[in-house]
Amino acid sequence: MLDPNLIREKPDFVKEQIQKKNADPSLIDRFLEVDVKRKELVKETDMLRHERKTLSQEIGKLLAQKKDVSELKARVKEIASKIKENEKMLSRFEEEYRDILLRIPNIPDPSVHYGKDESENIVVKRWGDVRDFDFEPKPHWEIAENLDIIDFKRGAKISGARFYVLKGLGAKLERALISFMIDLHVAKHGYREIFPPFLINRASMIGTGQLPKFEEDMYHTDKDDLFLDPTAEVPVTNLHRDEILSEDDLPIKYVAYTACFRREAGAAGRDTRGIIRVHQFNKVEMVRFVKPEESMKHLEELLDNAEDVLRILNLPYQLKKMCTGDLGFTAAIKFDPEVYMPSQDKYVEISSCSNFKDFQARRANIRYRAKDGSLHYVHTLNGSGLAVGRTMAAILENYQEKDGSVVIPEPLREYMGGLERITKENA
RNA sequence: GGAGAGAUGGCUGAGCGGUUGAAAGCGCCUGACUCGAAAUCAGGUAGAGGGUUUGCGCCCUCUCGUGGGUUCAAAUCCCACUCUCUCCGCCA
């Protein structure tokens, strides 16, 4: 959430900023209204409580002197009932105050360009040589089905549309990719590996900004009120919810593999074929907790860590900078690495790297104590490094051969028992 | 699932109806000593909300797992819930 003081002091600025994200500026007016009412009531109630406290102490003293206190008691009782009334009203205001605050999106970083939606994102970088095929490159789902390493039909049978089954070397390649990515980020980029729970409580979902606004996008278990992990960002960022870290601990860098579960509620008809958009996929995610003044530097590093995976796998990619309208609810600035897909001659999102600044830290109450004793909110960042399923798709397409086999990228071979190629025979 | 024990500040841990927002220790900060450091000594050190002040600050309220209740008054008594630990049961 935003700093309430920023909204109070510069409401017009905040309105303007959230409108760039296509959010409703009337949220700010509602906030200010509730804020005023709440403050008045707090003031009044605090005065009453003060009175109760003083008189109660008085009673204690008189009682010690064995004096009559029945009159005083009656007075305090009256005050107490008034307090109770106020508290009921106050808790309603507090709830609304909090709810509005939780529904106001983060404001964009000044360096982010204005744009209405994804069509106005800009490509800021391109890397790698797109391969010159001497045959018509097939889409990944055809390659995979021909090799019998992905089974869409049976995925649908077991679970439904947008689920698939990995088989044989397909399953092994998935595992290889996960290990390869984690090892890279740990050994070369200095992250600590985390393996978090996949079922997550409500408080954590609020902490990183999935709730209250996006409940429809998540799988939920009714009996226990738990959500299926939509991204490791949630459990890993919430690792330090309600904690005060020490300045010496920062920066903290975590990398985690998790399965990710998404209902894709609004995605009917999009990317229906293949493994690009599915309900369950694997992802390796990097998360950083950093000092505010260093967070932009950390975004650059994080982004480079994600790109490094693509470079090492020699997958051509481009980097897209998101415009204000496509930042999403929580990000202040965001870059998406996109991998080249030969069958469509298009670049497809394979990672997303964001700086949330103090937006998540305020929600999740993650602070650090500076050397001088003062308290500050940390800045949080995260980025996929990378989405595993999409990496698999990219490898299948970019490394496919005319005979239908797929060459295994050199750096992955040690994770595949030295295997160099997936063929119909060995798959 | 059953039985029991517990949850207090950055950490450990005392308090079990009325100057207790909380002893003590650790940690941290400041000062003295030192060329410097360590050790020692002295002092300081919870968070949130609100008011006031140009500012340093000062004042008020709330918070001892969470939510309710009893009482003039609750960290302290009662109830519910959550979590942790121990034992039993079940189980990959």
Whether pLDDT at A308 is above 90? yes
Whether pLDDT at A65 is above 90? no
Whether pLDDT at A191 is above 90? yes
Whether pLDDT at A277 is above 90? yes
pLDDT tens-place string over residues A387-401: 999 999 999 999 999
Whether pLDDT at A275 is above 90? yes
Q: What average pLDDT does this structure show over A94-113?
A: 95
* A421 phi, psi to nearest 5 deg: -155, 140
Q: What average pLDDT does this structure show over A173-184?
A: 98
Choose the weakest-confidence range: A282-296, A316-330, A359-373. Answer: A359-373
ipTM entry: 0.89
Whether pLDDT at A268 is above 90? no
Q: Catalytic: A352?
A: yes
Whether pLDDT at A143 is above 90? yes
* Distance from residue A371's CA to nucleotide B37's C1', rounded to whole Å: 20
Choose the weakest-confidence range: A237-251, A283-297, A399-413. Answer: A237-251
Active-site residue, from A52, A162, A262, A288: A262
At A66 the pLDDT is: 84
Q: Provide the residue type at A22 as one letter.
A: N
Active-site residue, from A52, A288, A367, A390: A390
pLDDT classification of A70: cutoffs 50, 70, 90: confident
pLDDT classification of A25: cutoffs 50, 70, 90: very high
pLDDT tens-place string over residues A202-261: 999 999 999 999 999 999 988 888 999 999 999 999 999 988 888 888 899 999 999 999
Percentage above 70 pLDDT, chain A: 100
Q: What is the mean pLDDT of chain A?
A: 94
At A252 the pLDDT is: 94
- Encode A221-282 in three state secondary structure: ECCCCEEECCCCHHHHHHHHCCEEEEHHHCCEEEEEEEEEECCCCCCCCCCCCCCCCCCEEE
Choose the weakest-confidence range: A178-187, A191-200, A328-337. Answer: A191-200
* Distance from residue A292's CA to nucleotide B35's C1', rounded to whole Å: 38
Q: Catalytic: A142?
A: no
* Distance from residue A191's CA to nucleotide B8's C1', rounded to whole Å: 35
Cβ A244 to strand B below 7 Å: yes
Whether pLDDT at A169 is above 90? yes
At A209 the pLDDT is: 94
* Distance from residue A198's CA to nucleotide B88's C1', rounded to whole Å: 30
Q: Catalytic: A202?
A: no
Residue A388's Cα: distance from chain center in Å?
A: 17
Q: Provide the residue type at A29 as one letter.
A: D
Cβ A22 to strand B below 7 Å: no
Cβ A32 to strand B below 7 Å: no
Q: Catalytic: A277?
A: yes
At A103 the pLDDT is: 94
Q: Provide the residue type at A304 as one letter.
A: D
3-state helix, strand, coil in chain A (%, to 5): 45, 20, 35
pLDDT tens-place string over residues A323-332: 999 999 999 9
Q: In A 89-148, which Cβ lie closer than 7 Å to strand B? A: 91
Active-site residue, from A204, A352, A354, A405: A352
Closest Cα to residue A177, out of A387, A406, A422? A387
Query: A343: helix, coil or strand?
Result: coil
At A390 the pLDDT is: 97
Q: Which nucleotides along chain B are within 7 A of a protein C-beta?
A: 10, 18-19, 28-29, 44-45, 47-51, 60-62, 68-69, 71-73
Quote the pTM value: 0.94
Q: Catalytic: A390?
A: yes
At A205 the pLDDT is: 94
